[in-house]
Chains A and B, each alone.
Chain A
Amino acid sequence: MRILLVEDSQRLRRTMTEGLRREGFSVDTAAEGNEALQQALEQPYDLIVLDLMLPGLDGLSILQKLREAGNAAHVLVLTARAAVEDRVRGLELGADDYLVKPFAFEELVARIRALGRRSYQRKNPVVELAGLRVNVSNRTVEREGESIELTRKEYALLEYLLHNRGVVVSRDQIEAHIYDDRVDPTSNVVDVLVCNLRRKIDRPGAPSVVQTRRGMGYLVAEEPA
């Protein structure tokens, strides 16, 4: 899941980014309102974590402009103001969730994951496919009761493909959602990642869960052939 973290506090931005990346999210950051709006309009973020008090353009204005522009990314508002009317105003302007500072980092991660599930209209955190059992809540993958160890990126790729089951996703889409803007666009990092994932999750000799569509991208079919 690719996240845009908009927070003016340099220190909080850094610690949150580090923590979220360690949790397996791809995180881009912005510290100023106009910069954040531009980024949010240019990149296909799954989620925007948005502080309200920002220099340049405040968070509510960003939210309003995003919705006016038809941007449907989930927005989790971060604010120091806990008054009901403030929350209501934020939600009315199109925020999906609201977290009041100071917050527990674990709660932030849980809410981000909940919004991620909502993105794919999935209430049940467990996805089962071709003998694989993926729990998107605790980020575990099992095959026939045996745990499979995936790296954060491998897991993120699997989750993204599962969320888009039955749909061909391009390398660019995978890059946009799995990697943040630190990745080199000319690298074959996606192909390498897919290869590593297949090696870990596929049954030996069985057709791969992740199918290649030449010139188009990758696909996890509803029921693998």
Chain B
Amino acid sequence: MTSISRQLTVGLLIGMALILGTVAAVGSLLVRHAGQEYFDDIVEDQARAHAGLVQFEDGAVLFDTSSVTRPRFRPDDDREFLLVLRPDGSVLHRSETIAGGDPPILPQGIDGPPRFFDATLADGAHVRGVQLKFLAGNEAVTLVFLRETAELRRLFRVLTALGWSGALLALLLAAVLVRVVVRRSLVPLSRLADAASEIDESRLDRRFERATFPRELRPIVRCLNSLLERLEAAFGRERRFIDNVAHELMTPIAELRSSVTLARRWQDDPELVTRSLTDIDEVACHQERLIRVLLSITRADSRRHTLDVETLDLEQLVEDVLSSRLSSEEVTRLRIDSEGLTRPVHTDRAALTSIVTNLIANAEAHMPADAQAVVRLRQDTEASIVTVSNPAPDLRPEDLPSLFEPFWRKSQTPGEPQHLGLGLCLARSLAELVGARLEARLEGGHIAMILTLPRELPRRDGRADSARTSAIP
């Protein structure tokens, strides 16, 4: 596609050329027609003036040649010719200038409308003629008046040339004007393009000022701004993810290397060596857990987990999860609130258990020490819903989009390396895998994780590969 500027310029010029050409052509025809009519009137007037010279006396038709001042021949003017015929076709009068043969005589009724015609004389002269047929006494006389059209044709040629030259000149002026107007009209578009080209990865916070653009471009500007917002958010997520991954993976390696260095350097200190080895073992275990969870997320996201769908009592499953997690002193920190579940759910037990476990673990880990988390279970005609809610005084609405990002933590509590920052990410991936929906809502300082299990969960069989035997953390 060529440039808009070029397309507009060419299109407008073609349009202008067509309009000007049409105007010139029609104008030329109209002028020619008007000129022709005017010429015909002159010719007819002349013919009728000469018809008045035809007299009927003593039973004979006469032509008063004494009163004839025209036709005449003048080299510098158009020649005129006159021919008057008796009823029998014999010549009553023929002007001296008509030479080389008579013009054609057209059939015509007496006192009928004058008949105009174009003819070429024997000497090659183009003439315009009018033929009248009238009664002189009781004799039908035919009068033909001719006038050479050289001057008229020359006039027509000049007018036509002037018309077309004017059109061409107008087209040239229009070309310049169109070019200027098109360029000026496209300036905002160029400005938008320049501003857009300045935005790179490091300047995604820039926005276009809508008010500075013409009305036609504002929808585009609005869309671009919206796109930039989403792009900035996406880059922000990607950057946070890279930061977090680097931090989560490199820090344990730094721990390993420091422990190894300490153990090597002060190997005569058995207490230090033992502590270093313990640290190395703990780091290895932590990394193993991290890698297992990351693999599970990857498998869930790529639909490589094989689902083993069975009929489950949701309330029982949640109670099992709670009882497996709670030590006696923690009982008061979690409460289950069930609204009479009557319908079982059909889904993968391991996946659902993992989702519920991660939601509860997340609530336990991040609520204030003296707070209580509530697990609510309810059903409606469409779905079974598990809501895990807990006080979250530090969370802000703007944190919600980040909650399910890998490694995202509102505030990592120092000294709690057991939390990987992957629980919610894994829970959402598994929820999507089993066809459920997991979303977060923040109301009144409480965060609610809502797991919606539709009545008809898709029975995805997954791919039969090594993932079939993989455990879900």
Chain A interface (Cβ < 8 Å from any Cβ of B): 8-12, 14-16, 18-19, 22, 31-32, 53, 55-56, 79-82, 85, 100-106
Beyond A11-B282, A12-B258, A18-B272, whether A101 also contacts B253 by CB under 8 A is yes
Check B414 against A55 for contact (C-beta < 8 Å): yes
Query: Can you name 12 extra interface pairs (CB under 8 A) apart from A9-B254, A11-B259, A19-B265?
Result: A9-B252, A10-B415, A11-B282, A15-B258, A15-B259, A16-B258, A19-B258, A53-B243, A55-B411, A81-B242, A81-B246, A102-B254
Complex CA–CA separation, A85 to B201 (angstroms):
12
Complex CA–CA separation, A9 to B282 (angstroms):
13
- Specify the chain B residue showing the minimal Cβ separation from A31: B414
**What does the 1/0 interface line of B31-53 toward A look like (CB < 8 Å)?**
00000000000000000000000
For residue A77, give the distance in angstroms from its CB to the closest CB of chain B.
13
Check B257 against A102 for contact (C-beta < 8 Å): yes
Say which residue of A32, A55, A101 sits within 8 Å of B250 (CB atoms).
A101
Instruction: For A56, list chain B residues within 8 Å (CB).
Output: 411
Complex CA–CA separation, A9 to B253 (angstroms):
12
For residue A29, give the distance in angstroms from its CB to the closest CB of chain B.
10
**What does the 1/0 interface line of B293-316 toward A look like (CB < 8 Å)?**
000000000000000000000000
- Specify the chain A residue showing the minimal Cβ separation from B261: A105
Beyond A9-B417, A104-B261, whether A15 also contacts B409 by CB under 8 A is no
Complex CA–CA separation, A142 to B139 (angstroms):
159
Check B243 against A101 for contact (C-beta < 8 Å): no
> Counting CB contacts under 8 A, is B67 at the interface?
no
For residue A83, give the distance in angstroms from its CB to the closest CB of chain B.
9
Instruction: For B411, list chain A residues within 8 Å (CB).
Output: 55-56
Instruction: For B253, list chain A residues within 8 Å (CB).
Output: 101-102
Beyond A53-B247, A80-B249, A106-B261, whether A12 also contacts B413 by CB under 8 A is no
Q: Which B399-437 residues sit within 8 Å CB-CB of chain A? A: 409, 411-415, 417
Check A12 against B254 for contact (C-beta < 8 Å): yes
Complex CA–CA separation, A29 to B254 (angstroms):
17
Check B414 against A11 for contact (C-beta < 8 Å): no
For residue A6, give the distance in angstroms from its CB to the closest CB of chain B.
11
Check B414 against A81 for contact (C-beta < 8 Å): no
Beyond A101-B250, A102-B256, A105-B261, whether A11 also contacts B283 by CB under 8 A is yes
Check A22 against B255 for contact (C-beta < 8 Å): no
Instruction: For B258, list chain A residues within 8 Å (CB).
Output: 12, 15-16, 19, 105
For residue B70, give the distance in angstroms from its CB to the closest CB of chain A.
101
Q: Which B249-287 residues sit within 8 Å CB-CB of chain A? A: 249-259, 261-262, 265-266, 272, 276, 279, 282-283
Check A80 against B262 for contact (C-beta < 8 Å): no
Complex CA–CA separation, A18 to B276 (angstroms):
11
For residue B187, give the distance in angstroms from its CB to the closest CB of chain A.
35
Beyond A15-B255, A101-B250, whether A8 also contacts B261 by CB under 8 A is no
Check A15 against B243 for contact (C-beta < 8 Å): no
Check B413 against A102 for contact (C-beta < 8 Å): no
Complex CA–CA separation, A219 to B249 (angstroms):
48
Instruction: For A102, list chain B residues within 8 Å (CB).
Output: 250-251, 253-254, 256-257
Complex CA–CA separation, A133 to B271 (angstroms):
35
Instruction: For B266, list chain A residues within 8 Å (CB).
Output: 22
Check B254 against A103 for contact (C-beta < 8 Å): yes
Beyond A18-B272, A56-B411, A101-B250, whether A10 also contacts B257 by CB under 8 A is no
